[in-house]
């Protein structure tokens, strides 16, 4: 762990660094009497401290001003203000400080603040965002509540078909037979599929969901774990999804009738 300590008073800087070293003997500690010197160190040496214990009242760049600048050049560094005045607490929170302790600094408080920071850093990441799809009735795909738009109408049908396959990989022949069932020129339909895939890829990249589409060895699939839809929830036994099914499934597409019938009998069996 790399820890910066900033205080314009030399004797306090020495005392505080000793207290921090007592609390965390294995940490690397760098001391500064000016906040700007700490910023210069980060920029010139590429050092990004895990935590910064910083005084608030200092000549030149104040601790509060330092915290704002630090967020820009080292956003993962955690600022813990050390001050003799609790009147700055509100300002500390305003600049999103990660801790606030009153002088004199004590090993117990250092450990408390650093332990709290470690627990926060170790918190599990939020679940990945998912593309929303409505399969019951007319098929629609949404991103953050808005319909996903494509340059070509058939691209939407390609996405629907891949969602219908629940993440299973599909060949160009399978896609061609579903989307152009009366077209026998496979070379022509393969060219069409390439155009649709390009359009789908562009639409997904625009919303940061390019990982949703899987292309491998001439096959196409979607990542089921990145899609939230009534169809998948029904298959998983979600009662709300089951009760919302009225027998209509992607009804604008003829190839969806097989799945629609399967879901209908599943619904009958569950009621």
Q: What is the dihedral of CA 162, 167, 168, 169, to 10 degrees?
A: 60
In the block, tokens 């001050």 appear at 83
Q: Identify the bridge partners of residue 101 per DSSP, sorted by sequence position.
A: 82
Distance CA 128, CA 83 (A): 39
Annotated domain spans of the chain: 2-121, 131-270
CA atoms 60, 62, 68, 71: torsion sign:
positive
Q: What is the pLDDT of residue 24?
A: 93
Q: What is the pLDDT of residue 88?
A: 46
Q: Give me 143's structure tokens.
A: 């991103």
Q: What is the pLDDT of residue 132?
A: 97
Q: What is the chain's alpha carbon radius of gyration, rounded to the nearest angstrom? A: 29
Distance CA 64, CA 266 (A): 62
Three-state DSSP state, 162? helix
Tell me, letter by letter, the H, E, C secondary structure of 79-136: EEEEECCHHHHHHHHHCCCCEEEECCCCHHHHHHHHHHHHHHHCCCCCCCCCEEEECE
DSSP state of 236: T
Q: What is the pLDDT of residue 149?
A: 92
- Terminal Cα-to-Cα distance of the chain (whole angstroms): 59
DSSP result, 247-267: S-BSTT-GGGHHHHHHHHHHH
> Domain 2-121 carries which CATH code?
3.40.50.2300
pLDDT in single tens digits along all 271 residues of the chain: 899 999 999 999 999 999 999 999 999 999 999 999 999 999 999 889 999 999 988 899 988 889 889 988 998 898 888 877 655 444 444 444 456 777 888 899 888 888 766 655 555 556 778 999 999 999 999 998 999 999 999 999 999 999 999 999 999 999 999 999 888 898 999 999 999 999 999 999 999 999 999 998 889 999 999 999 999 999 988 889 988 998 999 999 999 999 999 898 877 665 5
> Domain 131-270 carries which CATH code?
1.10.10.10
Q: What is the pLDDT of residue 269?
A: 62
Q: Give me 241's structure tokens.
A: 């999804």
Comparing CA positions, the residue from 162, 149, 90, 140 lying closest to residue 248 is 140
Q: Are 214 and 170 in contact (CB under 8 A)?
A: no
Q: What is the pLDDT of residue 237?
A: 86
């Amino acid at each position: 762990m790399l820890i910066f300590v900033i205080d314009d008073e030399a004797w306090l800087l020495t005392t505080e660094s000793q207290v921090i070293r007592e609390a965390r003997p294995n940490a690397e500690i760098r001391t500064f009497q000016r906040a700007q010197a700490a910023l210069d160190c980060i920029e010139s040496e590429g050092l990004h401290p895990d935590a910064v214990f910083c005084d608030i009242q200092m000549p030149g760049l104040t601790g509060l001003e330092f915290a704002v600048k630090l967020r820009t050049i080292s956003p993962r560094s955690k600022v813990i203000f050390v001050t003799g005045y609790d009147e700055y607490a509100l300002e500390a929170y305003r600049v999103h400080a990660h801790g606030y302790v009153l002088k004199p600094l004590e090993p117990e408080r250092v450990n408390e603040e650093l332990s709290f920071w470690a627990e926060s850093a170790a918190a599990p990441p939020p679940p990945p965002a998912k593309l929303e799809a409505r399969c019951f009735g007319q098929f629609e795909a949404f991103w953050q509540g808005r319909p996903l738009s494509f340059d070509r109408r058939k691209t939407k049908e390609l996405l629907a078909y891949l969602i219908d396959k629940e993440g299973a990989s599909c060949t160009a022949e399978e896609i061609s037979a579903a989307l152009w069932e009366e077209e026998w020129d496979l070379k022509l339909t393969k060219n069409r599929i390439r155009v649709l895939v390009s359009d789908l890829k562009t639409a997904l990249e625009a919303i940061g969901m390019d990982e949703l589409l899987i292309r491998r060895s001439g096959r196409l699939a979607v990542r089921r774990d990145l899609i939230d839809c009534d169809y998948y929830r029904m298959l998983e036994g979600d009662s709300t999804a089951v009760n919302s099914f009225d027998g209509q499934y992607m009804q604008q597409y003829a190839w969806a009738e097989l799945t629609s019938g399967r879901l209908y009998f599943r619904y009958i069996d569950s009621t």
